[in-house]
Structure formats: structure tokens, C-alpha cells
């Protein structure tokens, strides 16, 4: 039997002996708890070496000596060498310091539990020495644990990126906040299946059905966010992709801030990267593309309100991803060709990426307009040699 206890390690010395895979797994949680981590090991994994170089931990590059335990509040013997781990354990026992052992949990004086975290809440499970049992219980708790206190969210707004289309690509935090919402203001491109998971009493506002032109529509959305929050409700603004990538998230944050409404932004997986990935296209690739530009195509080249330097984009050698560009694609392609982009540059169109209706068309830049004629929004256009990298494998 064990006695469960939460250790407050902020500013306290924790000794980790070993610099391999086990230490790599254990140390991030110690650092997150604020511990002063000292690692004793002749070598370190690349991840730990990076932490040491960044000054996040102290590395003593040699084998363990019993005096290393002096001043430590907790010891981790992250070793698979039983004799070496026993020496660490004996030194800790002599100094009355608890010691976790990776090689033999029954010879240890402390066990690490299976852990799941939700905001400020941490659930730790000990399985009587059976780590698989502990992890199974932990996972069951994680699945059913919302972990959000509604009282802390009342009167606030969260801008949540819903991802590119597949409802499973929303972030864990985004889904958790969505489950706690009183009001959801949803974009047309937000994953619809996420709305089906809401509680029956949640008010859903379809932002695409708000009457007025584009500018007035945004003003009305801003007004709704502020009004519902001022009524003491928790409002989630559910967007497709990422709130800050052509999603007008900045405008909504400013509107909330000027009204004194607290607002949280939850980043989302943007279709600019996810759509090519879902089609098997890496937006960068060693030796092929060292640059990536994401461009809005909702205004054609030459439009007085356009902020895009299409001549500069056309001179790039890397990858160009165009969002909202199908309508203006003939003008966009002409501008890129005029700026010097090769007509035989590989190009692709990805429609409704990551969903069951995903379609992909590929060819060259000179063929792109004809290819795209068979596609409908939402779609992402990808231009660059990366298009041919994996599609020829």
C-alpha cells in the first residue's frame, strides 16, 4: 500500500540520475512543477541536452556519486542498470530522501503515478504497482473529465479554432471549453459535428446567417459576443481553422477588450497547413522548399484594397498556399506567371480537407485554373515544388 501525496517542488532540488529515455519522460513534469532539476549522467538525450543548453536544468557530466544526493528533496534513479540504481537508492535511503526507481518499483521508496491534467486540476492514479492498470484507470478518467469550472468562465468569451474540418482536429482545450459553453457563435467553416455534442440548453448562433454585408456582419458578431458575455454567459466563438489566420480573431478580441469583456484565444489547426498535409503534400521539404507564404485570395491582384505584393510572391522559390482564392484564381495565376513563377511549377487544389468529402486535384501552375474549375470552396491552393515530392513516391 502507498500513501498518496502531492509534492510542492517549486525551487527545491530534485536529483535525476540518468540521461536517457526514462529521464527524458520524467523531467518535463518536474520542470513544470518548478523543481530545480540536477541531472547526473555521462551523457544526455538530445531533448535533455537542449534543456540543459537553455538553462532549464543543471547537468553534471559524470557517473553518480553518493554525495550527489546531498540537498535533494527527491531522487529519480532513471537507470536500467540494477546495480547502479541500487547504489542511488542506498544513498538516498541513508539520507532519508525518497527515491523513485525505474528499474524496480518494489525496491523504491516512491512511485510515480499515471497522471492526467486539466487546467489547475491534476489526477494521479497508482495501480498497486501495476503501471498498465494505473494508465487504464487514468485514461478512463481523462475521457470523462471535463475539468472546467463554469463559475470561472461566466461573463467571458473564448475564441476557439475548430481546425480544418475533421472534428477530431480541434485541440483538447478547445473541446473542453466548447463543452462548457452557454452560447456558441459558429462560423460556416467550423466543424459541424462539434455542435452536435453540445448540451441541449446551449444557444447556437449561426454567424453565416446574420443578415447584412461583410462589414456589418462582423459588427453584429462583435455585438453578440459582448452582449451575451455581459449577461453573465460563457460565449465560445467557434471558428474554422485558426482564429488569427484570416479569421478576424483580432477584430473580435479588440471588440471584447474595448467593452471590458475578458477573452481567451485558443489556437486551432489551420487549413493552410492541414489541407496540404491531408493531401500528402509537405509545405516544406529539405532541399526543396525553405520558405512558405500563406496568402489570402479573397481580393484579386490589382484590387485597390489588396495588401498582397503579388510580384514579390511570384518571385519566391518556395511554397505558396492561397486561402479563399478559387474565385480569383485566374487573376492570381496570371500575376504569379507575370512575376516569373515557372509555368511548370507543381500545383494542387485541396477541397474540404480532412473530411469525408476531401478532393484533390494536381498538375502545374499553367494548368491550375482548368483544374480548379471542377472544385468548390472551401479549398486551399498549393503552389510549389513540394506538391510533387510525395505525390511521385
Contacts of 1 (CB under 8 A, 6+ apart): none
Q: Which of 285, 281, 268, 246 is nearest to 358 (CA)?
A: 281
Place of cell 535533494: 72
**DSSP codes joined into one string, 221-289:** HHHHHHHHHHTT--EEEEESB-TTSSS-HHHHHHHHHHTT--EEEE----HHHHHHHHTT--S-BTTTB
C-alpha cell at 48: 535533455
Active site annotation includes 70: no
Taken in order 89, 95, 100, 105, the sign of the CA dihedral is positive
Judged by DSSP in three states, 81 sits in coil
Query: In DSSP terms, which residues pair with 320 in a beta bridge?
Result: 293, 383
The catalytic position among 187, 309, 327, 344 is 187
Write down the catalytic residue from 83, 196, 209, 305. Answer: 209
Q: Where are the alpha helices (DSSP H) in the chain?
A: 21-32, 46-53, 82-94, 131-144, 150-153, 172-179, 192-196, 214-230, 249-258, 271-278, 310-315, 329-338, 368-372, 387-391
Distance separating alpha carbons of residues 194 and 177, to the nearest angstrom? 12
The C-alpha atoms of residue 230 and residue 246 are separated, in whole angstroms, by 27
239: annotated active-site residue: no
Q: Give the residue numbers marked as catalytic.
A: 187, 209
Amino acid at each position: 500500500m502507498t500513501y498518496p501525496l502531492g509534492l510542492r517542488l517549486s525551487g527545491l532540488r530534485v536529483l535525476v540520475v540518468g540521461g536517457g529515455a526514462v529521464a527524458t519522460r520524467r523531467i518535463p513534469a518536474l520542470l513544470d512543477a518548478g523543481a530545480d532539476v540536477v541531472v547526473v549522467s555521462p551523457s544526455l538525450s538530445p531533448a535533455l541536452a537542449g534543456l540543459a543548453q537553455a538553462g532549464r536544468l543543471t547537468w553534471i557530466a559524470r557517473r553518480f556519486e553518493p554525495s550527489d544526493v546531498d540537498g535533494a528533496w527527491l531522487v529519480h534513479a532513471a537507470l536500467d542498470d540494477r546495480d547502479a540504481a541500487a547504489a542511488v537508492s542506498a544513498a538516498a535511503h541513508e539520507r532519508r530522501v525518497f527515491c523513485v526507481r525505474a528499474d524496480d518499483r518494489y525496491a523504491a521508496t516512491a512511485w510515480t503515478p499515471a497522471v492526467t491534467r486539466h487546467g489547475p486540476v491534476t489526477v494521479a492514479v497508482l495501480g498497486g504497482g501495476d503501471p498498465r492498470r494505473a494508465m487504464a484507470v487514468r485514461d478512463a478518467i481523462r475521457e470523462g473529465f471535463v475539468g472546467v469550472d463554469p463559475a470561472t468562465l461566466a461573463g467571458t468569451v473564448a475564441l476557439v479554432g475548430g481546425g480544418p474540418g475533421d472534428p477530431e482536429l480541434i485541440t483538447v482545450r478547445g473541446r473542453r471549453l466548447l463543452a462548457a459553453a452557454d452560447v456558441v457563435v459558429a462560423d460556416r467553416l467550423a466543424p459541424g459535428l462539434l455542435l452536435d455534442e453540445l448540451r441541449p440548453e446551449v444557444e447556437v448562433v449561426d454567424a453565416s446567417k446574420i443578415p447584412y454585408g461583410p462589414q456589418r456582419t462582423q459588427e453584429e458578431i462583435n455585438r453578440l459576443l459582448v452582449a451575451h458575455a455581459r449577461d453573465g454567459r460563457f460565449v465560445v466563438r467557434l471558428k474554422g481553422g485558426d482564429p488569427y489566420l484570416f479569421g478576424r480573431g483580432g477584430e473580435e478580441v479588440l471588440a471584447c477588450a474595448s467593452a471590458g469583456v475578458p477573452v481567451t484565444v485558443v489556437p486551432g489547426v489551420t487549413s493552410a497547413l492541414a489541407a496540404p498535409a491531408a493531401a500528402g503534400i509537405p509545405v516544406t521539404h529539405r532541399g526543396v522548399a525553405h520558405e512558405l507564404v500563406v496568402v489570402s485570395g479573397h481580393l484579386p491582384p490589382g484590387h485597390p484594397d489588396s495588401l498582397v505584393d503579388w510580384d514579390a510572391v511570384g518571385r519566391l522559390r518556395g511554397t505558396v498556399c492561397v486561402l479563399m482564392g478559387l474565385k480569383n484564381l485566374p487573376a492570381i495565376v496570371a500575376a504569379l506567371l507575370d512575376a516569373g513563377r515557372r509555368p511548370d511549377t507543381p500545383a494542387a487544389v485541396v477541397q474540404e480537407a480532412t473530411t469525408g468529402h476531401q478532393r484533390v486535384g494536381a498538375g502545374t501552375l499553367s494548368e491550375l485554373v482548368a483544374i480548379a474549375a471542377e472544385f468548390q470552396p472551401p479549398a486551399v491552393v498549393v503552389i510549389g515544388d513540394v506538391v510533387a515530392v510525395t505525390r511521385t513516391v
